[in-house]
Structure 1
Amino acid sequence: MSSIKQVQITFDCANPERVARFWCEVLGYVVPPPPEGFASWDAFNDTLPPEQQGSAFACIDPTGAGPRLFFQRVPEGKVAKNRVHIDVRAGIGLVGDERLATLEAECARLVALGATCVQVLRADGINESCISMQDIEGNEFCLD
């Protein structure tokens, strides 16, 4: 039995580069270098058949610790809630008002990037505060 060494998270979307660049800003990720022999991703993209141009994009954690994110163009739009979502861990170790203030500040930063704040869930004595959000194409994620 083999063990898994790496995980990639794949997003279906309409505009792969736009969504990838959004997540680069959210997570501090970077765009990997273009394939060998190409000065840029645009130069590589120009070599593809027209129907494949702009059909995929990726971003990576520059530290190598986080998973690669891959974005692929699909013809259909999002119609239902995600079955899997990303939790952006902005409030690790914080509780109460300090946690909520940190989450709200990060929420404001992400809204400025094009995200949507869906719901602020305040601490209830069992669970700490978190914020439900959507990225620029409506994919759900949480700030926790």
Structure 2
Amino acid sequence: MALNWTLVIDSGNAPVLADFWAAALRYEVEDPSPLIDELLAGGLLGAEAVAEHRGHKIFRGYAGIRHPDDPFDESSGVGHGRRLLFQDVPEDKAGKNRLHVDVHSAVPGTPNGLEELVVRLEGLGASRVREVDMGPAGHWWVMRDPEGNEFCAA
């Protein structure tokens, strides 16, 4: 049986980066408001641990996204499948990522599929770094998300 997973990504502004990646991957932003309300009401969480983003309560410094087809816990909003969790850290990004996401065009192999994907990602705040030419096998783009994390669009 395959395991569920969460890829944790350090960030400077977790909810903003979660919004970018949710739009880029067409994932769902997790809404932990019901869990936060329950924890606040029970005195198990202080108000200083909570922030608001786009009209929802979030755990300060954290934001998750999940694949829309995967199961999730309605009481916590947390996905039980393919998931990215962004966590704020005090230090800035330094150097090249050792791990990155590859985003594939919706219609692989079509002449305009990659260009449409890259333009859509740029509209969300990504930037092109360089094109990688594989000759007859095609090409892809190395890009950066709004916080400078490298990823590939293929």
Q: TM-score, normalised by structure 2?
A: 0.74
Q: Is 2:93 the counterpart of 1:87?
A: no
Aligned pairs, number: 132
CA deviations over 1:102-143 (Å, ceiling 9, x no partner): 211111111111101111223413x42111100010001001
Where has structure 1 moved over 6 Å in runs of 4 or more?
none
Partner of 1:47: 47
Q: Is 2:87 the counterpart of 1:72?
A: yes
AA partner of residue 107 (structure 1):
V
% identity of equivalent residues? 32
Deviates more, 1:20-29 or 1:3-12: 3-12
Partner of 1:141: 151
Q: Which ranges in structure 2 are unaligned for 5 or more consecutive residues? A: 38-44, 51-58, 72-80
Partner of 1:132: 142
Partner of 2:12: 14
Q: Which ranges in structure 1 are unaligned for 5 or more consecutive residues? A: 40-44
Partner of 2:64: 58
CA deviations over 1:49-108 (Å, ceiling 9, x no partner): 47xx6311101111118621000000111111001100001166416xx1xx22111111
Superposition RMSD on alpha carbons, in Å? 2.8
Name the one with the larger strand percent.
2
Q: CA deviation at 1:33?
A: 3.0
**SS in structure 2 at match of 1:82:** coil
1:21-36 maps to which residues of 2 (within 5 A)?
A: 21-36=19-34
Partner of 2:75: none
